[in-house]
């Protein structure tokens, strides 16, 4: 069937048998819960409730409460909503609870826009959540199903954000293979991630209402240890991500698994690294340039947190120029890649390190045509030929405007 990104997310939540879906509607995320409501109205799902909070912070708090009961849930917020909920987002990670946040990315205002860039997603990179970015509806469906299995694992027990481009993926129809419910049930058993020491429902009222009576409590005396264990779990979750991805791939045949995907990188001189919807365009441009004898490849980073430095550096180690195509104003991929390369090279790998260039594209919803990817690849080619990088980090494309912050206001 053909599904938009939002519909695919709703289908994944349905197949995962989540019991509650939270949302604060903000374009382009409304269709996720709309589609779920359609399933409920037509009685195609049992035991699914949709709840809306007064604002994103309230909604996230509600989801944290739900997770404490061991219930599988989904939260759908985006753009400023993520900023609004940031305190709760941090709280969820430090509480070691598996929550899923579906984020159809939308740029942060001002200036006013409804269109997409990844700033809302990237703004949460320090919160301690696992972070994944998807390229199309099939990827969204596959990743959500894998994520529930990953985050509910006792060795992980961390919340996860799954992002995809607002409108360009969330409202774009592509062909999607929806796995049958029985197959998904075999892959994803019911949640069992809260296993209290004793049965807290059958105790007397004093114990039930006491806030101290909950599971074996760890408090501020163990603050540093708990924070360390949290960060360690985040780092080590890479093993689980790869293992669950492999299992999903074997069972359902989808290639949307693991921490990254490479395309024609084996003998590539230039590699374009990207996240999200730019990837299919990168593959197309790579094909076009390969026809002309230019050795170019592409990498899609699926997992942003934990940053798969090892896997990424191994994939690019033989390239001469690596260009990150970022759809966020932080140039996050550029910064993190350089940090990862530094550790990778320090560990004694052979050969010169690839030169790293960063190109920020598509901010505020500016579409990314194939030509621009071609131009950026041409810049990489030029750097290769001249053995010099003209501009290490740049934004593309920019047109000249006459803006004076003391005189002009930023509005629409």
Partner 1 sequence: MATITDEVGIEKWLKEEFIRSQLYEFAFFSIGRQGGRTAVEILARALIMEGKNIYVGQNLTGKRSMGTNSIVARFGSSPDIPATVSITNPRGLMFMHEALVWPDYGAYSQIKRAEVVSKFQSGLLMVCTSKPPEEVEYPIDFTGTVATADAEAIFLEKVSIQPPPSGITSLGLFAAANKDLIRLESVKQATLAHERLSKRVRELNVACIQKAYETTKIAQNIQLKGKITLPEYVELANRPPSSDLITPEEKSVSTLWRESLPLCDVKKCVCIECLADYYCPEGVISWKDEAYHVDYDFCKGCGTCALECPEKAIAMEDAEKVMAKMAEAQKRKKRR
Give the binding range for partner 1 (CB under 8 A) out of 86-94, 171-179, 246-254, 327-335.
Answer: 171-179
Smallest distance, partner 1 to C-beta of residue 136, A: 6
Instruction: Please count the residues of this chain forming the interface with partner 1, following the rule CB under 8 A.
Output: 45
Which one of 167, 187, 304, 334 is in contact with partner 1 (CB under 8 A)? Answer: 167
Smallest distance, partner 1 to C-beta of residue 392, A: 12
Smallest distance, partner 1 to C-beta of residue 298, A: 10
Cβ closest to partner 1, residue 35 vs residue 303: 35
296 binds partner 1 (CB under 8 A): no
| Pairwise CA distance, residues 12 & 144, whole Å | 6
Cβ closest to partner 1, residue 125 vs residue 171: 171
Smallest distance, partner 1 to C-beta of residue 123, A: 22
| Pairwise CA distance, residues 142 & 248, whole Å | 8
142 binds partner 1 (CB under 8 A): no
Which one of 23, 143, 274, 281 is in contact with partner 1 (CB under 8 A)? Answer: 281
SS3 state of residue 345: helix
Q: Crossing angle, helix 332-346 and helix 309-316, to 10 degrees?
A: 80
115 binds partner 1 (CB under 8 A): yes
| The pairing of beta strand 100-105 with beta strand 270-274 | unpaired
Secondary element (H or E) of residue 356: strand 355-360
Smallest distance, partner 1 to C-beta of residue 227, A: 39
169 binds partner 1 (CB under 8 A): yes
Smallest distance, partner 1 to C-beta of residue 271, A: 17
Tokens of 159: 């919340």
Q: Crossing angle, helix 223-252 and helix 86-94, to 10 degrees?
A: 90
Which one of 218, 225, 397, 410 is in contact with partner 1 (CB under 8 A)? Answer: 397
Sheet holding 260-263, edge to edge: 260-263, 296-301, 270-274, 321-326, 355-360, 393-395
Tokens of 78: 């985006």
Smallest distance, partner 1 to C-beta of residue 280, A: 5
173 binds partner 1 (CB under 8 A): yes
Cβ closest to partner 1, residue 64 vs residue 107: 107
- Taking alpha carbons only, the member of 99, 31, 33 closest to residue 63 is 99
Contacts of 333 (CB under 8 A, 6+ apart): 273, 274, 275, 301, 304, 324, 326, 358
Which one of 62, 340, 368, 383 is in contact with partner 1 (CB under 8 A)? Answer: 368
Tokens of 144: 């959500």
| Pairwise CA distance, residues 207 & 116, whole Å | 49
Q: What are the residues binding partner 1 (CB under 8 A)?
A: 1-2, 113, 115, 135-136, 167-169, 171-175, 277-278, 280-281, 283-285, 287-289, 291-292, 365-371, 374-375, 378, 391, 394-400, 412
């Amino acid at each position: 069937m053909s599904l938009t990104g939002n519909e695919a997310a709703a289908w994944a939540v349905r197949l995962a048998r989540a019991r509650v879906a939270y949302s604060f509607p903000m374009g382009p995320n409304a269709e996720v819960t709309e589609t779920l409501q359609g399933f409920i109205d037509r009685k195609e799902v049992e035991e699914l409730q949709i709840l809306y909070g007064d604002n994103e912070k309230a909604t996230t708090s509600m989801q944290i409460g739900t997770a404490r009961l061991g219930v599988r849930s989904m939260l759908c917020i985006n753009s400023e909503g993520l900023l609004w909920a940031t305190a709760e987002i941090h709280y969820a990670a430090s509480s070691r609870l598996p929550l899923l946040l579906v984020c159809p990315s939308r740029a942060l205002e001002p200036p006013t826009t409804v269109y997409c860039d990844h700033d809302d997603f990237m703004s949460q990179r320090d919160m301690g959540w696992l972070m994944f970015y998807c390229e199309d509806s099939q990827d969204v469906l596959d990743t959500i199903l894998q994520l529930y299995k990953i985050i509910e694992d006792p060795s992980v027990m961390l919340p996860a954000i799954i992002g995809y481009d607002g409108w360009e993926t969330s409202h774009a129809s592509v062909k999607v293979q929806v796995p049958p419910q029985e197959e998904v049930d075999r892959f994803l058993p019911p949640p069992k991630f809260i296993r209290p020491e004793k049965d807290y429902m059958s105790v007397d009222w004093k114990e039930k209402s006491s806030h101290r009576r909950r599971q074996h409590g760890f408090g501020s005396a163990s603050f540093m240890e708990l924070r360390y264990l949290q960060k360690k779990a985040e780092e080590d979750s890479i093993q689980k991500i790869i293992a669950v991805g492999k299992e999903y791939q074997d069972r359902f045949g989808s290639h949307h698994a693991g921490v990254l995907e490479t395309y024609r990188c084996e003998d590539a001189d230039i590699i374009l690294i990207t996240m999200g919807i730019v990837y299919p365009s990168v593959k197309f441009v790579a094909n076009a340039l390969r026809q002309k004898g230019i050795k170019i490849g592409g990498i899609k980073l699926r997992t942003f947190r934990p940053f798969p430095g090892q896997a990424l550096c191994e994939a690019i180690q033989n390239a001469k120029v690596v260009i990150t195509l970022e759809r966020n104003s932080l140039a996050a991929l550029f910064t993190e890649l350089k940090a990862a390369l530094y550790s990778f090279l320090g560990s004694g790998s052979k050969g010169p390190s690839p030169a790293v260039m960063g190109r920020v594209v598509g901010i505020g919803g500016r579409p990314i045509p194939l030509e621009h990817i071609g131009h950026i690849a041409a810049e990489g080619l030029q750097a290769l030929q001249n053995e010099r990088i003209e501009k290490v980090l740049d934004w593309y494309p920019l047109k000249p405007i006459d803006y004076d912050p003391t005189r002009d206001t930023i509005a629409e």
